Homo-oligomer: A and B are copies of this chain.
Amino acid sequence: MERGETMIDNPFYGPAMQGDFRLFDLGNLILTCGETLRGAKLAYRTLGTLNADKSNAVLVTTWFSGTGKVMQDVYVGPDHALNPDRYFIIIVDQLGSGVSSSPHNTPAPQAMAKFPKLSISDDVAAQHRLLTEVFGIHELALVVGGSMGGQQVYEWAVTYPNMVARAAVIAATAKISFHQQVFIETLIEAITSDPAWAGGWYTAGTDLRAGMDRMARIVATAGWSAEFYQTERWRSVIGMSSLDDFINGVMKAYFEPMDPHALLTQMHKWQRADVSRHAGGDLAAALARITARTMILPISHDMFFPPGECEADCRLIPGAQLRVIGSPEGHMGLNGFAPEYMEQVNRYLTELLSD
Protein backbone atom coordinates (compact mmCIF):
# COMPACT_ATOMS: atom_id res chain seq x y z
CA MET A 1 0.00 0.00 0.00
CA GLU A 2 1.09 3.51 -0.65
CA ARG A 3 1.23 5.69 2.40
CA GLY A 4 0.23 9.31 2.42
CA GLU A 5 1.42 11.90 4.83
CA THR A 6 -1.23 11.07 7.39
CA MET A 7 -0.61 7.33 7.40
CA ILE A 8 1.47 5.59 10.04
CA ASP A 9 3.90 2.81 9.28
CA ASN A 10 3.44 0.48 12.26
CA PRO A 11 5.78 -2.52 12.02
CA PHE A 12 3.64 -4.51 14.47
CA TYR A 13 1.11 -5.09 11.71
CA GLY A 14 3.69 -6.10 9.10
CA PRO A 15 4.92 -9.57 8.05
CA ALA A 16 7.81 -9.55 10.51
CA MET A 17 5.32 -9.70 13.38
CA GLN A 18 2.21 -11.14 11.70
CA GLY A 19 3.82 -13.88 9.64
CA ASP A 20 2.74 -14.89 6.19
CA PHE A 21 -0.53 -13.25 5.16
CA ARG A 22 -2.04 -12.03 1.93
CA LEU A 23 -4.15 -8.97 1.19
CA PHE A 24 -7.35 -9.36 -0.82
CA ASP A 25 -8.14 -6.16 -2.70
CA LEU A 26 -11.82 -5.50 -2.12
CA GLY A 27 -11.76 -2.36 -4.23
CA ASN A 28 -14.63 -0.12 -3.24
CA LEU A 29 -16.44 -1.63 -0.27
CA ILE A 30 -19.81 -0.01 0.33
CA LEU A 31 -20.29 -0.07 4.06
CA THR A 32 -23.41 -0.55 6.15
CA CYS A 33 -23.07 3.06 7.32
CA GLY A 34 -23.47 4.16 3.69
CA GLU A 35 -19.92 5.37 3.12
CA THR A 36 -17.60 3.63 0.65
CA LEU A 37 -14.24 2.41 1.88
CA ARG A 38 -12.03 2.88 -1.18
CA GLY A 39 -9.21 0.46 -1.89
CA ALA A 40 -10.30 -1.76 1.00
CA LYS A 41 -7.96 -4.62 1.87
CA LEU A 42 -8.76 -7.81 3.74
CA ALA A 43 -5.84 -9.71 5.28
CA TYR A 44 -6.05 -13.50 5.33
CA ARG A 45 -3.97 -16.63 5.48
CA THR A 46 -4.83 -20.20 4.56
CA LEU A 47 -3.61 -23.51 5.92
CA GLY A 48 -4.25 -26.93 4.40
CA THR A 49 -5.72 -27.77 1.01
CA LEU A 50 -9.18 -27.17 -0.37
CA ASN A 51 -10.56 -30.54 -1.48
CA ALA A 52 -12.10 -31.17 -4.91
CA ASP A 53 -15.72 -30.64 -3.90
CA LYS A 54 -14.76 -27.69 -1.71
CA SER A 55 -16.45 -29.25 1.29
CA ASN A 56 -13.63 -28.90 3.82
CA ALA A 57 -13.41 -25.13 4.19
CA VAL A 58 -13.26 -23.67 7.69
CA LEU A 59 -13.43 -19.92 8.28
CA VAL A 60 -11.71 -18.57 11.39
CA THR A 61 -12.40 -15.00 12.48
CA THR A 62 -10.45 -12.70 14.82
CA TRP A 63 -11.27 -11.02 18.12
CA PHE A 64 -10.68 -7.52 19.49
CA SER A 65 -6.97 -6.68 19.33
CA GLY A 66 -6.24 -10.08 17.84
CA THR A 67 -4.89 -10.86 14.38
CA GLY A 68 -4.82 -13.90 12.13
CA LYS A 69 -1.41 -14.75 13.57
CA VAL A 70 -2.84 -15.35 17.04
CA MET A 71 -5.61 -17.59 15.70
CA GLN A 72 -3.08 -19.55 13.65
CA ASP A 73 -0.71 -20.00 16.58
CA VAL A 74 -3.30 -20.89 19.21
CA TYR A 75 -6.17 -22.64 17.43
CA VAL A 76 -4.78 -24.31 14.29
CA GLY A 77 -2.42 -27.24 13.90
CA PRO A 78 -2.17 -31.01 13.47
CA ASP A 79 -2.85 -31.49 17.19
CA HIS A 80 -5.96 -29.32 17.11
CA ALA A 81 -9.54 -29.83 15.95
CA LEU A 82 -8.73 -27.21 13.30
CA ASN A 83 -6.28 -29.54 11.59
CA PRO A 84 -4.84 -28.34 8.26
CA ASP A 85 -4.28 -31.99 7.28
CA ARG A 86 -8.07 -32.37 7.08
CA TYR A 87 -9.42 -28.88 6.57
CA PHE A 88 -8.75 -25.91 4.36
CA ILE A 89 -8.55 -23.23 6.98
CA ILE A 90 -9.00 -19.59 6.05
CA ILE A 91 -8.15 -17.14 8.81
CA VAL A 92 -9.34 -13.61 8.14
CA ASP A 93 -8.25 -10.49 10.02
CA GLN A 94 -11.27 -8.37 10.78
CA LEU A 95 -11.47 -4.93 9.17
CA GLY A 96 -9.72 -2.44 11.44
CA SER A 97 -7.48 -5.17 12.86
CA GLY A 98 -4.47 -3.10 11.92
CA VAL A 99 -3.50 -5.61 9.21
CA SER A 100 -6.68 -5.39 7.14
CA SER A 101 -7.81 -1.87 6.19
CA SER A 102 -7.55 0.35 9.24
CA PRO A 103 -7.38 4.08 9.89
CA HIS A 104 -3.59 4.18 10.14
CA ASN A 105 -2.96 2.27 6.88
CA THR A 106 -5.65 3.87 4.72
CA PRO A 107 -4.69 6.82 2.52
CA ALA A 108 -6.32 10.23 2.55
CA PRO A 109 -9.10 11.25 2.39
CA GLN A 110 -10.10 8.29 4.62
CA ALA A 111 -7.03 8.13 6.82
CA MET A 112 -7.00 8.28 10.61
CA ALA A 113 -9.88 10.32 12.06
CA LYS A 114 -11.61 10.33 8.66
CA PHE A 115 -11.77 6.53 8.45
CA PRO A 116 -15.43 5.48 8.21
CA LYS A 117 -17.30 3.70 10.99
CA LEU A 118 -17.51 -0.04 10.40
CA SER A 119 -19.89 -2.74 11.54
CA ILE A 120 -19.64 -6.52 11.91
CA SER A 121 -21.81 -6.88 8.81
CA ASP A 122 -19.09 -5.14 6.78
CA ASP A 123 -16.68 -7.85 7.89
CA VAL A 124 -18.99 -10.61 6.85
CA ALA A 125 -19.69 -8.96 3.49
CA ALA A 126 -15.94 -8.64 2.86
CA GLN A 127 -15.26 -12.21 3.97
CA HIS A 128 -18.08 -13.45 1.74
CA ARG A 129 -16.43 -11.81 -1.23
CA LEU A 130 -13.06 -13.35 -0.36
CA LEU A 131 -14.55 -16.85 -0.11
CA THR A 132 -16.62 -16.65 -3.27
CA GLU A 133 -14.38 -14.55 -5.51
CA VAL A 134 -10.96 -15.93 -4.60
CA PHE A 135 -11.76 -19.53 -3.67
CA GLY A 136 -15.17 -20.22 -5.21
CA ILE A 137 -16.35 -21.53 -1.87
CA HIS A 138 -20.12 -21.60 -1.41
CA GLU A 139 -20.38 -23.69 1.73
CA LEU A 140 -18.36 -23.59 4.91
CA ALA A 141 -17.92 -26.78 6.90
CA LEU A 142 -17.46 -24.54 9.91
CA VAL A 143 -17.28 -20.88 10.88
CA VAL A 144 -15.58 -20.42 14.23
CA GLY A 145 -14.39 -17.48 16.27
CA GLY A 146 -14.19 -16.13 19.79
CA SER A 147 -15.38 -12.85 21.28
CA MET A 148 -15.65 -10.34 18.38
CA GLY A 149 -14.83 -13.37 16.22
CA GLY A 150 -17.95 -15.00 17.67
CA GLN A 151 -19.95 -11.89 16.82
CA GLN A 152 -18.85 -12.47 13.22
CA VAL A 153 -19.89 -16.13 13.43
CA TYR A 154 -23.39 -15.04 14.51
CA GLU A 155 -23.52 -12.55 11.65
CA TRP A 156 -22.51 -15.29 9.19
CA ALA A 157 -25.04 -17.82 10.48
CA VAL A 158 -27.92 -15.34 10.34
CA THR A 159 -26.96 -13.58 7.08
CA TYR A 160 -25.93 -16.61 4.99
CA PRO A 161 -27.64 -19.62 6.57
CA ASN A 162 -27.27 -21.64 3.36
CA MET A 163 -23.51 -21.20 3.34
CA VAL A 164 -22.83 -22.20 6.94
CA ALA A 165 -22.99 -25.94 7.67
CA ARG A 166 -21.65 -25.55 11.20
CA ALA A 167 -21.11 -22.60 13.50
CA ALA A 168 -19.10 -22.42 16.71
CA VAL A 169 -19.41 -19.31 18.84
CA ILE A 170 -16.81 -19.04 21.59
CA ALA A 171 -17.33 -16.47 24.36
CA ALA A 172 -19.73 -14.14 22.54
CA THR A 173 -23.37 -13.17 22.38
CA ALA A 174 -25.65 -12.49 19.40
CA LYS A 175 -26.48 -9.01 20.64
CA ILE A 176 -24.16 -6.82 22.63
CA SER A 177 -25.26 -6.46 26.23
CA PHE A 178 -25.96 -3.16 27.96
CA HIS A 179 -23.13 -3.94 30.36
CA GLN A 180 -20.65 -4.39 27.51
CA GLN A 181 -21.83 -1.14 25.92
CA VAL A 182 -20.90 0.73 29.10
CA PHE A 183 -17.65 -1.17 29.58
CA ILE A 184 -16.43 -0.58 26.03
CA GLU A 185 -17.16 3.12 26.41
CA THR A 186 -14.72 3.26 29.34
CA LEU A 187 -12.03 1.85 27.02
CA ILE A 188 -12.82 4.41 24.33
CA GLU A 189 -12.67 7.22 26.88
CA ALA A 190 -9.36 6.00 28.30
CA ILE A 191 -7.72 6.38 24.87
CA THR A 192 -9.44 9.48 23.54
CA SER A 193 -8.97 11.44 26.79
CA ASP A 194 -5.21 11.32 26.25
CA PRO A 195 -4.25 14.84 25.08
CA ALA A 196 -1.96 13.17 22.51
CA TRP A 197 -5.06 11.73 20.85
CA ALA A 198 -5.39 15.16 19.26
CA GLY A 199 -8.80 14.48 17.78
CA GLY A 200 -7.46 11.36 16.12
CA TRP A 201 -4.58 13.06 14.30
CA TYR A 202 -1.65 11.74 16.33
CA THR A 203 1.50 10.93 14.38
CA ALA A 204 2.61 7.82 16.30
CA GLY A 205 0.53 5.36 18.31
CA THR A 206 3.14 5.35 21.06
CA ASP A 207 2.41 9.05 21.70
CA LEU A 208 -0.75 7.80 23.40
CA ARG A 209 1.03 5.50 25.82
CA ALA A 210 -0.70 7.04 28.85
CA GLY A 211 -4.19 6.53 27.44
CA MET A 212 -3.36 3.10 26.05
CA ASP A 213 -1.96 2.05 29.43
CA ARG A 214 -5.12 3.20 31.21
CA MET A 215 -7.17 1.27 28.67
CA ALA A 216 -5.04 -1.84 29.24
CA ARG A 217 -5.67 -1.73 32.98
CA ILE A 218 -9.42 -1.35 32.50
CA VAL A 219 -9.42 -4.34 30.14
CA ALA A 220 -7.60 -6.22 32.89
CA THR A 221 -10.40 -5.61 35.41
CA ALA A 222 -13.01 -7.56 33.44
CA GLY A 223 -10.96 -9.50 30.90
CA TRP A 224 -9.67 -11.74 33.67
CA SER A 225 -11.95 -13.09 36.36
CA ALA A 226 -11.91 -12.19 40.04
CA GLU A 227 -10.95 -15.82 40.71
CA PHE A 228 -8.00 -15.53 38.32
CA TYR A 229 -6.69 -12.68 40.46
CA GLN A 230 -7.55 -14.13 43.84
CA THR A 231 -5.91 -17.49 43.14
CA GLU A 232 -2.87 -15.65 41.71
CA ARG A 233 -3.04 -17.35 38.34
CA TRP A 234 -1.16 -14.31 37.00
CA ARG A 235 1.68 -16.05 38.84
CA SER A 236 1.00 -19.77 38.33
CA VAL A 237 -0.45 -19.70 34.80
CA ILE A 238 0.97 -16.50 33.28
CA GLY A 239 4.29 -16.62 35.11
CA MET A 240 4.51 -13.04 36.38
CA SER A 241 6.15 -12.24 39.70
CA SER A 242 3.69 -9.67 41.08
CA LEU A 243 0.45 -7.95 40.24
CA ASP A 244 2.32 -4.88 38.94
CA ASP A 245 4.56 -7.16 36.92
CA PHE A 246 1.45 -8.68 35.38
CA ILE A 247 -0.27 -5.37 34.59
CA ASN A 248 2.90 -3.86 33.16
CA GLY A 249 4.50 -6.88 31.54
CA VAL A 250 1.38 -8.53 30.15
CA MET A 251 -1.50 -6.08 29.82
CA LYS A 252 0.32 -2.86 28.93
CA ALA A 253 2.98 -4.66 26.92
CA TYR A 254 0.31 -6.48 24.92
CA PHE A 255 -1.41 -3.31 23.72
CA GLU A 256 1.64 -1.07 23.46
CA PRO A 257 2.63 -1.88 19.84
CA MET A 258 -0.93 -1.60 18.56
CA ASP A 259 -2.51 1.36 16.85
CA PRO A 260 -5.08 3.28 18.95
CA HIS A 261 -7.30 3.96 15.93
CA ALA A 262 -7.34 0.28 15.02
CA LEU A 263 -8.52 -0.62 18.51
CA LEU A 264 -11.16 2.13 18.46
CA THR A 265 -12.42 0.96 15.06
CA GLN A 266 -12.86 -2.51 16.50
CA MET A 267 -14.49 -1.18 19.68
CA HIS A 268 -17.07 0.65 17.58
CA LYS A 269 -18.07 -2.66 15.97
CA TRP A 270 -17.84 -4.66 19.19
CA GLN A 271 -20.11 -2.18 20.99
CA ARG A 272 -22.85 -2.47 18.35
CA ALA A 273 -22.83 -6.12 17.28
CA ASP A 274 -26.43 -7.22 17.11
CA VAL A 275 -27.94 -9.73 14.69
CA SER A 276 -31.46 -8.80 15.79
CA ARG A 277 -31.40 -5.86 13.36
CA HIS A 278 -31.80 -8.44 10.58
CA ALA A 279 -35.30 -9.03 11.98
CA GLY A 280 -36.31 -5.53 12.98
CA GLY A 281 -34.89 -5.89 16.49
CA ASP A 282 -36.45 -9.28 17.18
CA LEU A 283 -33.56 -11.40 18.42
CA ALA A 284 -35.56 -14.61 18.59
CA ALA A 285 -36.71 -14.19 14.98
CA ALA A 286 -33.15 -13.49 13.82
CA LEU A 287 -31.65 -16.49 15.59
CA ALA A 288 -34.47 -18.72 14.33
CA ARG A 289 -33.05 -18.20 10.85
CA ILE A 290 -29.92 -20.15 11.71
CA THR A 291 -29.79 -23.54 10.00
CA ALA A 292 -26.17 -24.38 10.83
CA ARG A 293 -25.41 -27.06 13.36
CA THR A 294 -24.48 -24.62 16.08
CA MET A 295 -22.42 -24.97 19.20
CA ILE A 296 -22.37 -22.17 21.78
CA LEU A 297 -19.20 -22.21 23.90
CA PRO A 298 -19.18 -19.67 26.73
CA ILE A 299 -16.24 -19.51 29.11
CA SER A 300 -17.19 -20.33 32.70
CA HIS A 301 -15.73 -17.20 34.37
CA ASP A 302 -16.28 -14.75 31.49
CA MET A 303 -17.17 -11.22 32.67
CA PHE A 304 -17.52 -9.88 29.11
CA PHE A 305 -19.98 -12.46 27.84
CA PRO A 306 -21.34 -14.26 30.92
CA PRO A 307 -22.35 -17.91 30.36
CA GLY A 308 -25.96 -17.10 31.30
CA GLU A 309 -26.26 -14.60 28.47
CA CYS A 310 -24.70 -17.03 25.97
CA GLU A 311 -27.06 -19.75 27.13
CA ALA A 312 -30.05 -17.45 26.56
CA ASP A 313 -28.94 -17.05 22.93
CA CYS A 314 -28.44 -20.79 22.61
CA ARG A 315 -32.05 -21.47 23.56
CA LEU A 316 -33.19 -19.33 20.61
CA ILE A 317 -31.17 -21.25 17.99
CA PRO A 318 -32.80 -24.34 16.49
CA GLY A 319 -30.96 -27.45 17.71
CA ALA A 320 -28.00 -25.52 19.11
CA GLN A 321 -25.86 -27.20 21.72
CA LEU A 322 -24.27 -25.56 24.74
CA ARG A 323 -20.80 -26.49 25.96
CA VAL A 324 -19.38 -24.37 28.78
CA ILE A 325 -15.59 -24.17 28.70
CA GLY A 326 -14.27 -24.29 32.25
CA SER A 327 -11.56 -21.66 32.56
CA PRO A 328 -10.79 -19.56 35.66
CA GLU A 329 -9.00 -17.07 33.40
CA GLY A 330 -12.35 -15.74 32.27
CA HIS A 331 -12.60 -14.04 28.89
CA MET A 332 -8.84 -13.87 28.38
CA GLY A 333 -8.78 -17.65 28.57
CA LEU A 334 -9.40 -17.32 24.81
CA ASN A 335 -5.68 -16.83 24.35
CA GLY A 336 -5.11 -20.43 25.38
CA PHE A 337 -2.73 -19.75 28.26
CA ALA A 338 -3.94 -22.83 30.16
CA PRO A 339 -3.62 -26.21 28.38
CA GLU A 340 -7.02 -27.25 29.80
CA TYR A 341 -8.65 -24.49 27.78
CA MET A 342 -7.45 -25.69 24.35
CA GLU A 343 -8.08 -29.31 25.31
CA GLN A 344 -11.77 -28.47 25.87
CA VAL A 345 -12.06 -26.35 22.73
CA ASN A 346 -10.53 -29.13 20.66
CA ARG A 347 -12.82 -31.73 22.17
CA TYR A 348 -15.96 -29.68 21.52
CA LEU A 349 -14.99 -28.58 18.01
CA THR A 350 -14.11 -32.18 17.11
CA GLU A 351 -17.55 -33.21 18.36
CA LEU A 352 -19.21 -30.54 16.22
CA LEU A 353 -17.12 -31.28 13.13
CA SER A 354 -17.87 -35.01 13.26
CA ASP A 355 -21.60 -34.30 13.56
Q: Determine if A232 and B178 form an interchain contact, defined as CB atoms under 8 angstroms apart.
A: yes
CB of A183, distance to nearest CB on chain B (Å):
5
CB of A246, distance to nearest CB on chain B (Å):
9
Known: A182-B217, A186-B217. A226 touches B177 (CB 8 A): yes
Closest to A243 in B: B178
Q: Determine if A179 and B230 form an interchain contact, defined as CB atoms under 8 angstroms apart.
A: yes
| Residue in B179, B193, B228, B303 whose CB lies within 8 Å of A193 | B193
Q: Determine if A189 and B214 form an interchain contact, defined as CB atoms under 8 angstroms apart.
A: yes
Q: Determine if B218 and A178 form an interchain contact, defined as CB atoms under 8 angstroms apart.
A: no
Known: A226-B306, A306-B226. A193 touches B178 (CB 8 A): no
Tallying the copies of this chain within the complex gives 2
| A241 lies within 8 A of chain B by Cβ | no
| A222 lies within 8 A of chain B by Cβ | yes
A182-217 contacts to B, CB under 8 A, are 182-183, 185-186, 189-190, 193-195, 210-211, 214, 217
CA distance A194 to B309 in the complex (A): 35
| Residue in B210, B214, B222 whose CB lies within 8 Å of A221 | B222
Q: Determine if A226 and B179 form an interchain contact, defined as CB atoms under 8 angstroms apart.
A: yes
A220-262 contacts to B, CB under 8 A, are 220-222, 224, 226-230, 232, 234, 243, 247
**A residues within 8 Å of B by Cβ?**
177-179, 181-183, 185-186, 189-190, 193-195, 210-211, 214, 217-218, 220-222, 224, 226-230, 232, 234, 243, 247, 303, 306, 308-309
Show 12 residue pairs from A and B whose CB-CB distance is below 8 angstroms, ordered by the A residue. A178-B230, A178-B232, A179-B224, A179-B226, A182-B217, A183-B221, A186-B221, A189-B214, A221-B221, A226-B306, A230-B309, A303-B303
Q: Which 10 A-B pairs have the closest CB atoms?
A: A178-B229, A179-B229, A179-B226, A183-B221, A186-B218, A189-B214, A186-B217, A226-B306, A178-B243, A177-B230
